[in-house]
Structure 1
């Protein structure tokens, strides 16, 4: 193929296109003139018309010949176009070419738009239970403890493979599993009986179950517990009506399939009654494969244990300084006088919204505080509904921070100096 200057190539391509269309135009015109001559009456005109048709055909033939010559000069015209395009691409993608890609910074200044910082508040607002998914060492037990202190109720743990100090913050009699699956199975039956008693209580006494009947169940490695005969009924019944009767369940596993939670054939229950909290690599894999959001994936990796996923929402909650002392068992009373906790010291250990609630209680000098009063005295608390504030009252009281009285809409909370002396 002859080497051509780009301007020459452009001219030759135009000439080739014109001669090709001229050839086809002459061929079509010659045929039209030929067929038109059949309808002309004066016979002496026909030779002239046939001659015209032949002349047009000869012109077309010459144009055809010219097109062939141009094609030989250019080679294959389509190939010329392709080669020119490939040559341009090669120039643009040389190793010396620079490719600028804008990637959002994932340093500490970037945060997702839909970030939540209080997973307990989220769970309480949607009124669901929790399916906690994560690998060994991802912090499942710590997060379970945190939830139990916030939601309140008697904590009962099912774990047939617990090690020493795994659940040191749970009453020894409420850690069930040393007797293996039979012991857990019997405990699940007792829990179902208690759930039925709460149904009767709500029907015959009051729709508001007293806090003394509230329970917070934790099922560690539920795929193992799922072999219990009572496991399917236990999780289904509590999932559907447990929250109304103040019976909260948190089931722990390393994968969130319906089979792992004894819900095979009832996967809808897992979707409608549980908030999925994914920790560690499980959260990262979910962001990448399901949400298809590598930016969130990198954000999760950069934050360690304090960042995880709550359903489809990224969450950041640092529990590294919270530790297991939040509800540690009370040690025997000694002769040594324990230093009194000051109001400022107590407030430093709390986060929003509990911090704001306790601050209101301290300013009220031991007076009873109702949920609606928190709304009136603190603008930031107006974003939280009254029922959630009452749940926080109960959670604070269960940790020895103040006390509660009343039930349902009439539940109130207060804190005074005597409570600070006991902390």
Structure 2
């Protein structure tokens, strides 16, 4: 029995899922084993994700990009299948799951949900195939948790729109073919489909990261970007547009963080079985077993919560505060699992020969993006009390 089966079989977690769902999980696990795992430590160390387009095309062949959407070349899979895919992607690396999440749950979902038929036909098939890469411009240098205060503006000039502003911490930005950019207008916040070869648009790469290093992260600069009238997403005005997309990405994180946790538990259990101190392997000592048990317990609870939220979403019963509950719990638990796993590995825990420190560093970003701990706490708190405490 291998490490993975000991961790998942303790509570027989596979019983939660259908044969089709397990087949999706197995497919994603295999492509990650072939195309990501042999290289990801090097990508992280160098801070460069090699051949991004080759990787997106591989994911596109499997239907992983926008896999929960229907039509336009999208796979139309269930929310639970998408969740299991996110778990396997993040078991390889959070940056790889981010690549898929931003492409499908943010950029593609914005077009699919709020775009015109012409916009959908123009962009979605190529994005689903991985031939085109998208990014999602919401966060700004001085605006994170309060998107209503964004400074990026779009003004009408005759029949055109002209965009000016900055976006920050944008996954896929420097490699994207299309950016979904949210900007304030006289009508309220609107979304714009911006081809990245439009004059005035640039996406300088953000360097010196110590987290999500196997991920392309960029600033978006919009200096007088002129767009035709039909570049605006016609079906939404206001913050419900970007927030509706963010909720899809947050759902993927509920599952994805568990992949980083599982990988770290596997590494710690295998290491403890091989590491000999005081004449015996350290997995025979009580304190090490306690750590392994506590990590597995928290992981198991996280999977149960994710599966429950997946079933609710598949039944069209999911609410945003439930996703916030899942993100708040599972990312926080996964980060603590990684920290505990690191202690079992001792000094080796900081080496990229093992995945633990990489997962731990990555989760520091996952803890913050798509809503900080504080924001999700207040979302859940408002539902519990009926009182908004954001201001």
Q: TM-score when scaled to structure 1?
A: 0.25
Which has the higher relative contact order, 1 or 2, with Cα contacts under 8 A spaced 6 or more apart? 2
Q: Which is higher, the Rg of structure 1 or of structure 2?
A: 1
Q: TM-score when scaled to structure 2?
A: 0.27
